[in-house]
Amino acid sequence: MSENTVDRLIDARETRKTRARYNRLAPFYDLMERGAEKGFAPGRHRLWSLVPAGRLLEIGVGTGRNFPYHPAGADVTGIDLSNRMLDKARHKAEDLHRSIDLREMDVQKLAFPDANFDAAAATFVFCSVPDSVCGLRELARVVKPGGWIILLEHVRIDRPGILGRLMDVLDPLVVRMMGAHINRRTVDHVRRAGLTVERVEDLAPVGLVKLIVARPPGAVEAAGA
């Protein structure tokens, strides 16, 4: 995808709003998420157990919640849209004595060459990316054809009943308060981005949290080369 095409896909206004929300939330984000984190920790452990050591990209590092789970010996680059979140992440990396290349960057327009990473991972990030399909296409570009893209995401409940419709109704309010959409169909977005979905695991009741294991285009050919 050309740079001009990427520029046309990005909604600059929504991206600025997203950055501003997370900069505003950064000082008390960990406190806000403390209760939920007990439930999310097993999912984080599961995701990072599947990520191979090598040259890795973590998208949306936030305050550095995933740093303790990174595979030993990995060369990790971490990005986030929010500079204030990154300030907290840098302190976390220092406390853990981890060497992580942290950069302020938008996943919708990554400043990395093609096929630069062995794997990419994100936890609860693509609910907040203004155009998640655009961001996922960028991951497909920067991860090697034989590599992996592994996501942990909360998604819209697509089961009979009113829960999914209720999530649609509440979504605008939640976005204004927390910055995250609660009704994203992220598995569908991964496929729309051209990635091959290897498997999907439900990690919470009624399919609310999913682990998505995917590969970039050309992965099958690369594996058999």
Q: What is the pLDDT of residues 162-185, one digit of tens each?
A: 999 999 999 899 988 878 899 999
The pLDDT of 204-208, averaged and rounded, is 89
CA proximity to 211, closest of 33, 49, 26, 32: 49
Residue 2, pLDDT > 50, answer no
**68 near 90, Cβ under 8 Å?**
no
Mean pLDDT of the chain: 90
The pLDDT of 179-204, averaged and rounded, is 94
The pLDDT of 123-151, averaged and rounded, is 96
- Alpha-carbon distances, residue 79 vs 143, 164, 205, 207 (angstroms): 15, 31, 30, 28
Q: What's the predicted TM-score (pTM) here? A: 0.90
User: pLDDT tens digit string along 139-150?
Assistant: 999 999 999 999
Q: What is the pLDDT of residue 70?
A: 96
Tokens of 120: 């990419």
CATH of 3-224, picked from 3.40.50.150, 3.40.50.880, 3.40.50.720, 3.90.580.10, is 3.40.50.150
The pLDDT of 111-131, averaged and rounded, is 97
Residue 222, pLDDT > 50, answer no
Q: What is the pLDDT of residue 56?
A: 98
Tokens of 35: 């209760």
Residue 38, pLDDT > 70, answer yes
For the chain, the structural domain boundaries read 3-224
Residue 6, pLDDT > 70, answer no
Q: What is the pLDDT of residue 220?
A: 52
What contacts 140, CB < 8 A, 6 or more positions away? 149, 193, 194, 195, 216, 217
